[in-house]
Amino acid sequence: MDSLDRDVARLWRVNRTIHELVRDRGYIVADSELETSLDEFREQVTGGSGAIDRNRLHFFTRLTNDDSQKIFVYFSDERNVGVMTMRKFLQQLEDKEIQKGIIIYQDKMTASAHKVIDAMRTQFDLEDFHETALLVNITHHHLVPRHDVLTDEEKKALLERYRLKETQLPRIQVSDPVARYYGMKRGQVCKITRPSETSGRYCSYRICLG
């Protein structure tokens, strides 16, 4: 296997995981996107040429229950993401009138690029993922229990049912890989379901904190 084949195979896994991530957050993703074969993906990403073009992988979609809520996924063609790359990313979001965006990068993001994300938080909901973080879908690992992010109404009902304050819930950090996978924000609560030898399953809850 030459270097191009290795890079294509790696990117194929990344592309599949990001589509699974978006689907698991409630966005529309066609089954065909998850079932793309390696050969089909190679043709898609190279166009039959001898080089990878990540610009062919950008995509956007909408929530299954709210057409107005969209997300745009941007694959950086530059190995290192700087201010110029972020400007191109933001321009795409503005052109498509989308507030939520994910940028996927190959090597690193500069401090200036991270400052752009921080500066634009009032206008956009931006996330970044290194390609290596998406090589494997961590939620498919047998040691990772099922996580379900509660709606605001479900969170309120949970706290009222058990007469709890938010501060009494166990925590999950916003930087936790599973919290990042589901795009959890500060104050959101996730339900964690684990198998139990006595009751069949056991549920616990964690609140996301920065």
Domain ranges of the chain: 3-136, 142-209
Parallel, antiparallel, or unpaired: how do β-strands 125-130 and 100-105 relate?
parallel
140 residue type, one letter:
H
Exposure b/e, 134-159, CB count within 10 A at least 16 = b:
beebbbeeeeebebebbeeeebeeeb
Q: Are 130 and 103 in contact (CB under 8 A)?
A: no
What does each of the 210 residues of the chain score in pLDDT, given as a tens digit? Answer: 589 999 999 999 999 999 999 999 999 999 999 999 999 999 999 998 889 999 999 999 999 999 999 999 999 999 999 999 999 999 999 999 999 999 999 999 999 999 999 999 899 999 999 999 999 999 999 999 999 999 999 999 999 999 999 999 999 999 999 999 999 999 999 999 998 878 788 999 999 997
What CATH superfamily classification does 3-136 receive? RNA polymerase, Rpb5, N-terminal domain (3.40.1340.10)
CATH architecture designation of domain 142-209: Alpha-Beta Complex (3.90)
